[in-house]
Copies of this chain bind each other. A is one copy, B any other.
Amino acid sequence: MSLRNAQPARGAAPAGTVDDLDRLLLSLLTEDAAVTNKALADRLGLAESTCAYRVRALREAGVITGTRAQLDLALLGYPLQAIVKVRLGSHTMANVSQLYDALATAPGVIQAFHLAGADDFHLHVAVEDAEALRDFVLRHVTTHRVVRQTETHLVFEVRRGAGVLAGGGDRGKR
């Protein structure tokens, strides 16, 4: 079980299998990646060595891509968040990918979504105040010639969702 075998074992899934225990583990790590291995092992009823082994395997398999610190943006002086919808006038490959690069690296952008549909991109941004928001759009979005239209919506609140591991193991059995 689990993804210890990167080599195509018998009838296993291509990139290794993640079992329910792994899912529980991942679920706990997405809540708080700073938990000690001991605490993790205790909560799952595993030996510490086994627990550490599984976590390392998940990391090496690429399932865990990294761990990041979460910041309180308001405390940092960026209390205003918005979604900026971006529509292009031209959709050549070069245009799109170049703009995507520029948008994703613009200061204040938390996440950049490349979408199918009328909106090409959704930018989730955090800024100091309304003026900074206007500046952001004018400076980093509408300056690009390919951008035909933008629409900015205030974000009242963002919540982390339950994620794909919700339920703790009853999903993914298809």
The reply to whether B68 and A154 form a contact with Cβ atoms under 8 Å apart is: no
Q: Of B13, B69, B110, B124, which one neighbours A29 at CB under 8 angstroms? A: B69
Name the B residues within 8 Å of A117 (CB-CB): 153-154
Q: Of B69, B106, B119, B174, which one neighbours A161 at CB under 8 angstroms? A: B106
**Cα A76 to Cα B73 with chains together (Å):** 29
Min CB distance A43 to B, Å, is 15
Min CB distance A64 to B, Å, is 5
Name the B residues within 8 Å of A160 (CB-CB): 104, 110-111
**Cα A113 to Cα B174 with chains together (Å):** 28
Name the B residues within 8 Å of A166 (CB-CB): 105-108
Tell me, yes or no, whether A128 is within 8 Å of chain B by CB.
yes
Task: Please indicate which of the listed interface residues A76, A126, A158, A161 has the most CB atoms of chain B within 10 Å of its own CB.
Answer: A161
How many A residues touch B, CB cutoff 8 Å? 70
Tell me, yes or no, whether A116 is within 8 Å of chain B by CB.
yes
The reply to whether A100 and B159 form a contact with Cβ atoms under 8 Å apart is: yes
Question: A: which residues have CB within 8 A of B?
Answer: 13, 15, 18, 26, 29-34, 61-73, 75-78, 83, 100, 103-117, 119, 122-128, 153-167, 171-172, 174
Task: Please name 16 further chain A to chain B contacts, defined as beta carbons within 8 Å, in addition to the given A26-B69, A30-B69, A65-B72, sorted by A numbering.
Answer: A18-B77, A29-B68, A33-B69, A64-B70, A67-B70, A71-B164, A103-B161, A104-B161, A106-B162, A107-B162, A108-B161, A108-B162, A111-B158, A113-B157, A122-B122, A128-B174
